[in-house]
Structure 1
Amino acid sequence: MREQDKLMVIWSSGDRDVALKVCFMYTNAAKKVKWFDEVNLIVWGPSAKLLCEDEELQEKLKMMQDNGVVVEACVNCAEMYGVADQLRDMGIDVKGMGKPLTERLKADWKQLNF
C-alpha cells in the first residue's frame, strides 16, 4: 500500500453540524467508495464529549466502523471530558495519539481536520 492511499481525519470540533454534514459524510465515503485504502478517524478534544452525548452520531460512527474506518481517540482528551470508558464501549481505540499522529505526518499520510 502506498502512503498516498492512507487518510487520517482529525475530528476535534464540538459542532454537531460539522460532524454530520461534513466530517462523517466524507470520512465514510472515503472508505466505502475506496477513495483511500486506509481511513482513520481520530476523535480529539470536544468531539469526544459530543459523540458520547449524541445517539445519532454514535449510529453514524458504528456505520463507519462497519465500513472499515478505524476509529481512535485521544486518551488525554477523553479523560478530561470523563468519557474514555464510553468511547471504549463504542469500539474506539482510546490511546495516546501524539506519537501515532506524528508518525503518520512524517509518513505523508493525507490529513483532513474538522
Structure 2
Amino acid sequence: VITSRDKEVAAGVGIRYAFNAATKHWMDEVKIIVFGPSEEVAAHDTEIQAKLKDSMKAGIEVLFCKAYSDEQGVTGILEEAGFKVIYVGTVMSQLLKDGWDSLTF
C-alpha cells in the first residue's frame, strides 16, 4: 500500500520493493494499492507512472482508490494513463481476511 505524498518514499522505496519482490520471486504474488495522497502525486508525475506501468508489465496488479481520486479530481487522469481505479476498501479488507500481509509506504 502506497500512501505517501513523498515521491522518494513512493517510487524509491514502495514501488521498487514491490517490483523486486515480484521479479526476483521473493513473493508468490504482489499487488500495489495506491491509496490517499500518493494518488495525486502519481497522477501528475510521469516517472512514478512509468515505474507503476513497469510493475504492471512484470505481472503486478496496480490499483488506485476511486473514492480518494474522485475527491482529488484525478480519476480521469489515472484512467487515461491506463490505471485501474476502483473502490479499494473492500478489496484491502478481503486481502487481509485471506491472509495477505501488507507493507505501507
CA distance in structure 2 between the aligned counterparts of 1:93 and 1:11, rounded to whole angstroms: 15
1:44 aligns with 2:44: no
CA offset at residue 35 of structure 1? 1.3
- Cα distance per residue 1:63-83 (max 9 Å; x no partner): 111111100011000101111
More strand as a share of residues: 1
Structure 1 residue corresponding to 2:73, chosen from 78, 82, 88: 82
Tell me which residue corresponds to 1:113. 104
**Alignment map for 1:1-114 (pairs within 5 Å):** 10-114=1-105
What is the distance in 2 between the residues matched to 1:78 and 1:38?
25
**Structure 1 unmatched runs, 5+:** 1-9
- CA deviations 1:28-69 (Å, max 9, x no partner) are 001111112211100111111000111111111111111111
Stretches of 4+ moved more than 3 A in 1? Answer: none
Residue type of the partner of 1:40?
K
| Between 89-98 and 45-54, the greater mean CA deviation after superposition | 89-98
TM-score by length of 2: 0.94
SS of corresponding position for 1:112: coil
Q: Which amino acid aligns with 1:57?
A: I
Unpaired stretches in structure 2, ≥5 consecutive residues: none
Q: Which amino acid aligns with 1:68?
A: G
RMSD (CA atoms): 1.0
